[in-house]
């Protein structure tokens, strides 16, 4: 499992230190994981998966799992969406902060509102 994390580090040109700083996952946890002393908790895996834009299934197995229809374990349907999400995460982080501090029903309501706004902008409504 750590091998997949290591591969994601290489593919994305980041260090474990940077992931630690940007996700709040301690460096000691990442080090203990690398040494096989621990297996990260689900919450930690979710933070790391979100950081790289992959599913937790992908982080655990290297396979797409639920997202088998997406190419190469990608979390997003296209490169533009992935790039935008990464930019938001690196610069504003507002969506990720909202995600961490709100419940599922409220997140769904936000997503529906965003979809409605997108339709309005595209002239569908």
pLDDT digits (tens, 9 = 90+) for 19-72: 999 999 999 999 988 998 988 888 888 999 999 888 888 888 887 654 444 444
pLDDT of res. 66: 45
pLDDT score recorded for residue 26: 92
pLDDT at 75 over 70: no
**The two three-digit tokens of residue 79, written as one number:** 């490169």
41, two tokens: 């908790």
Mean pLDDT for all residues in the chain:
78
Among candidate residues 96, 100, 73, the one with its CA nearest the CA of residue 85: 96
* Residue with the larger pLDDT of the pair 112 and 104: 112
The answer, yes or no, to whether residue 102 has pLDDT greater than 70, is: no
What's the rounded Cα separation, in Å, for the pair 63 and 18? 24
Q: Distance between CA 96 and CA 60 in Å, rounded? A: 21
- Could you give the residue ranges of the DSSP H alpha helices within 35-125? 42-52, 56-61, 79-87, 94-101, 104-121
- The reported pLDDT for the residue numbered 71 is 44
Q: End-to-end CA distance of the chain, in Å?
A: 46
DSSP helix/strand/coil, 62: coil
Angstrom CA distances, 35 to 28, 29, 30, 31, stand at 10, 10, 9, 6
Q: Quick check: 18 pLDDT over 90?
A: yes
By percentage, how much of the chain surpasses pLDDT 90?
18
Q: Which two tokens stand for residue 48?
A: 């790391």
């Amino acid at each position: 499992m750590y091998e997949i994390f290591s591969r994601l580090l290489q593919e994305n040109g980041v260090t474990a230190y940077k992931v630690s700083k940007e996700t709040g996952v301690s460096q000691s946890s990442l080090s203990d994981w690398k040494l096989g002393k621990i297996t990260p908790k689900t919450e930690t895996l979710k933070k790391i998966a979100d950081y790289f834009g992959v599913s937790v299934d992908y982080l655990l197995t290297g396979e797409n799992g639920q997202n088998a229809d997406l190419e190469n374990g990608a979390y997003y349907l296209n490169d533009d969406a992935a790039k935008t999400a990464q930019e938001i995460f690196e610069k504003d982080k507002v969506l990720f902060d909202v995600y961490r501090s709100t419940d599922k029903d409220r997140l769904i309501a936000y997503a529906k509102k965003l979809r409605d706004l997108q339709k309005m902008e595209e002239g569908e409504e």
